[in-house]
Amino acid sequence: VPTATRILAAHQLAASLREQADLIRARAQHLGTAGADLRWHSSAASFFRPSLDEAIGRLLRAAAVFDASADEITALALVG
Amino acid sequence: MGIKVTGGAGGTRAFLDDLVGMSHLLRTAVATLTQAEHLAELGRLQIGGCSGLDMGPQNHRLDDILAALSGPSSVTRHAATSADALAFLAKFAADAYANTDNGLMHMFTSALSSLPVALVKGGGRLLTTGNPIDAVQQVLTADPELVNLAADASPLPQLVGPASELCDDGYPIVTETGIDDSCPAMTPPRSLNDIVSGLAERNDGASGEISVSFVVASDGSRHAIVDIPGTKSWSPGHTSDITSLATNLRAIQGRPTSYEQGVLDAMSEAGVTSHDDVMLVGHSEGGMVAVDAARDAAVSGQFHVSHVVTAGAPIGKTVGSLPHTVQVLALEDRGDVVPRLDGADNPDRPNITTVSGGPDHGSIGANHNLSGSYLPLARSVDASDNVSVRQFMAGAAGFLDDESMVTERFVITRGY
């Protein structure tokens, strides 16, 4: 595979992964904003709030891994 | 004085709406994660192929990277599983809450839990006064949920429709009786207590007397407050008194009445337009008329009723028909049987806040009285930090922070 083709393909994949990371982060942000505005019953809040925070945390971690993977794939294409 | 608040921004329905909304948001996040996972999986399939993703000796590393994004133990799948489970749980909890909250069992439990104390109080009243009517009043006012149950179990609701046909409601005649230049009618309200005081002042007037007040802020913006008193005549026959039984029998079913039309006509005559925010304030029958008028004004677009305050009004079966843009605060003295005559609790909606409390005077009349029961309750509401109450009051701020007020009086009579 010519180097230029390989680098282009890797860049395209990396760009797609970063796009997904942005989308996931946007979902997390939306959940965070909506969560802050929610009219919780105190009894339910003690369960749902930490669970929602945990779910948002996982989304943000997933987004970060997508970004890191995109960086690594770009780097691999250059040395490969 | 303790109050009990249901509905409104802090009510169960608002909470359930939020749980369902959260569930939808989480499901959207799951869909995004699934899409991202598919993209990574597609990348793995392209490795070493003709699409250019062939990095020779680095292909294993590339596969590892993408596998971490798309496998069953990937960070993506973990996030999706967790969000999906929480979405399911939120929806399940919302459904479970709704089912228990709507149960008739709640009403039975509530009524029966107060019954022993009510009977003891009634027995005590019988012993001290020897008057069985007084004793029955004491039982009913000590456990007003009994009236809900009685209304539900009796054929009364079925009789209201035919009975209303027998009472001719005629047509409204609206007479403007001038500007009220008394001090209370010229002092802009600052609190719910002031709002209910204004209604009590109007209630002291003639039969069929209502008022339309314009409160004007320093920037010139204005709001309209309409006070609608309750029944002054229980006559079932032809009478010029617009507050008579014919109005009650129709309004409790949510049917248009001549009283309601008279109120709308008076608002128009006073100069209220569809650009003015309007608060309708009604006691007892006046509260029913206020709810019906708010609904019909929303349908016709003639007026923009943004707020309704009722005191001692049986609106359980009609208030749910209001659009969510109309904020309702229903005051119900805990010993007042009148708001329970329709046999229905007010629905728990984000725009409908019901506050019960106030003293039990042991008499149906006293518990229904504006000055004796509803003014103290209004003061308790003013002092409350309940979320639903505060949200309603914040939304009504435009009616409570003005510089001047002009009140015009009207008398509505019935013609045939």
Q: How far apart are CA A7 and CA B228, in angstroms?
A: 77
Q: How far apart are CA B251 and CA B257, in angstroms?
A: 7
Residue B224: phi, psi to the nearest 5? -115, 135
Q: Does residue B246 contact residue B164 with C-beta atoms inside 8 Å?
A: yes
Residue A6 has pLDDT above 50, yes or no: yes
pLDDT of the residue at A43: 61
pLDDT confidence of B156, banded at 50, 70, 90? low
Residues of A in contact with B18 (CB under 8 A): 38-40
pLDDT of the residue at B105: 41
Closest CA to B69 of A65, A20, A67, A74: A65
When pLDDT is averaged across residues B69-74 and rounded to a whole number, the result is: 90
Q: How many CB atoms are located within 10 Å of the residue B274 CB?
A: 11
Closest-CA distance of chain A to residue B356, Å: 19
When pLDDT is averaged across residues A59-64 and rounded to a whole number, the result is: 96
Q: How many CB atoms are located within 10 Å of the residue B388 CB?
A: 24
Residue B126 has pLDDT above 60, yes or no: no
Residue B139 has pLDDT above 80, yes or no: no
pLDDT of the residue at B58: 86
Q: How many CB atoms are located within 10 Å of the residue B123 CB?
A: 13
Among B194-208, B234-248, B265-279, B395-409, which is the least confidently predicted range?
B234-248
Q: How many CB atoms are located within 10 Å of the residue B105 CB?
A: 9
Of B243 and A3, which is predicted with more confidence?
Answer: B243
Q: How far apart are CA B411 and CA B44, in angstroms?
A: 81
Question: In percent, how much of chain B has pLDDT > 90?
Answer: 59
User: Are the beta carbons of B25 and A27 separated by less than 8 Å?
Assistant: yes
pLDDT confidence of B142, banded at 50, 70, 90? low
pLDDT of the residue at B108: 43
Q: What is the pLDDT of residues B9-47, one digit of tens each?
A: 878 778 788 888 889 999 999 999 999 999 999 999 988
Q: Does residue B329 contact residue B6 with C-beta atoms inside 8 Å?
A: no
| Strand pairing class (B171-179; B404-415) | antiparallel
Among A34-43, B83-92, B330-339, which is the least confidently predicted range?
A34-43
Among B228-242, B291-305, B306-320, which is the least confidently predicted range?
B228-242
User: Tokens 């000590």 identify what position?
Assistant: B142
Nearest CB to A23 within list B9, B32, B57: B32
Nearest CB to B18 within list A39, A51, A76: A39
What value of ipTM does the predicted structure carry? Answer: 0.93
**Chain A contact for B53, CB < 8 A?**
yes
**Chain A contact for B34, CB < 8 A?**
no
Among A23-32, B50-59, B281-290, which is the least confidently predicted range?
B50-59
pLDDT of the residue at A56: 94
pLDDT of the residue at B107: 46
**Interfacial B residues in 350-369 facing A (CB < 8 Å):** 350
Computed over every residue of chain B, the mean pLDDT equals 86
- CA B197 distance to own-chain centroid: 20
When pLDDT is averaged across residues B128-153 and rounded to a whole number, the result is: 60
pLDDT confidence of B104, banded at 50, 70, 90? very low
**Chain A contact for B28, CB < 8 A?**
yes
Q: How far apart are CA B239 and CA B258, in angstroms?
A: 12
Positive or negative, the Cα torsion across A8, A10, A13, A17?
A: negative
Q: Residue B304's beta-bridge partner residues?
A: B277
**Chain A contact for B64, CB < 8 A?**
no
Containing A51, the helix (H) or strand (E) segment is: helix A42-79
Q: For chain A, percent helix, then strand, then coil, each to nearest 5?
A: 90, 0, 10
Residue B137 to residues A26, B131, B133, B150, Cα–Cα distance (Å) = 61, 10, 6, 14
The residue of B66, B75, B91, B348 whose CB has the most chain A CBs within 10 angstroms, and thus the best one to mutate to test that interface, is B75
Among B53-57, B131-135, B197-201, B349-353, which is the least confidently predicted range?
B131-135
Closest-CA distance of chain A to residue B35, Å: 8
Helices (H) and strands (E) in chain A, counts: 2, 0
For chain A, what's the residue count? 80
Three-point CA angle B29, B30, B35, nearest 5°: 100
**Interfacial A residues in 12-71 facing B (CB < 8 Å):** 13, 16-17, 20-21, 23-24, 27-28, 30-31, 34-35, 38-41, 44, 48, 51-52, 54-55, 58-59, 61-62, 65-66, 69
Q: Does residue B414 contact residue B170 with C-beta atoms inside 8 Å?
A: yes
Of B131 and B57, which is predicted with more confidence?
Answer: B57
When pLDDT is averaged across residues B154-158 and rounded to a whole number, the result is: 59
When pLDDT is averaged across residues A53-75 and rounded to a whole number, the result is: 94
Q: Does residue B87 contact residue B27 with C-beta atoms inside 8 Å?
A: yes
pLDDT confidence of B112, banded at 50, 70, 90? very low
Residue B113 has pLDDT above 60, yes or no: no
pLDDT of the residue at B172: 97
For helices B59-70 and A42-79, angle between their N-to-C axes, nearest 10 degrees = 170
pLDDT confidence of B88, banded at 50, 70, 90? confident
Closest CA to B258 of B210, B319, B304, B212: B210
- CA B238 distance to own-chain centroid: 33
Residue B152 has pLDDT above 80, yes or no: no
pLDDT confidence of B308, banded at 50, 70, 90? very high
Nearest CB to B22 within list A16, A38, A69: A38
Containing A6, the helix (H) or strand (E) segment is: helix A3-37
Q: How far apart are CA B294 and CA B305, in angstroms?
A: 6
Containing B115, the helix (H) or strand (E) segment is: helix B104-129
User: Are the beta carbons of B33 and A72 separated by less than 8 Å?
Assistant: no
pTM of the model: 0.73
pLDDT of the residue at B133: 62
pLDDT of the residue at A65: 96
Q: Does residue B43 contact residue B66 with C-beta atoms inside 8 Å?
A: yes
The residue of B12, B33, B101 whose CB has the most chain A CBs within 10 angstroms, and thus the best one to mutate to test that interface, is B33
Q: What is the pLDDT of residues A15-58, one digit of tens each?
A: 999 999 999 999 999 999 888 777 766 566 667 788 889 899 99
When pLDDT is averaged across residues B251-267 and rounded to a whole number, the result is: 94
